[in-house]
Amino acid sequence: EPGGVATLGALLYGLGGRFDESWLRYLQNTLVEPGGLNLRNRICHGLLDQCGPLEAGILIHVACFLATLRVSPPPPAA
């Protein structure tokens, strides 16, 4: 891939099966889904004129959830 950097959408997809599926859909809708809130894209690319209390609250909620996640080492190769 150009730049060798994984997209946020790909990283979220890779989290599938690690926690409740509804949380994954929530994160995708909130952060990267073009038909959803897509706050990451709208804020980072200047498409949102002003970030208000609603957007801030949603992003704080997402940040609090992500802070609870722990990375586990991959299983040993067979």
pLDDT tens-place string over residues 23-41: 999 999 999 999 999 999 9
Integer angstrom CA distances of residue 49 from 22, 38, 42, 44, 68: 29, 14, 9, 11, 31
pLDDT on residue 71: 75
Q: Which residues of the chain have pLDDT under 70?
A: 1, 78
Is residue 23 within 8 Å of residue 65, measured between CB atoms? yes
Q: Which residue has the tokens 């299983």?
A: 75
**Pairwise CA distance, residues 1 & 5, whole Å:** 7
pLDDT on residue 29: 96
pLDDT on residue 1: 58
> What is the model's pTM?
0.79
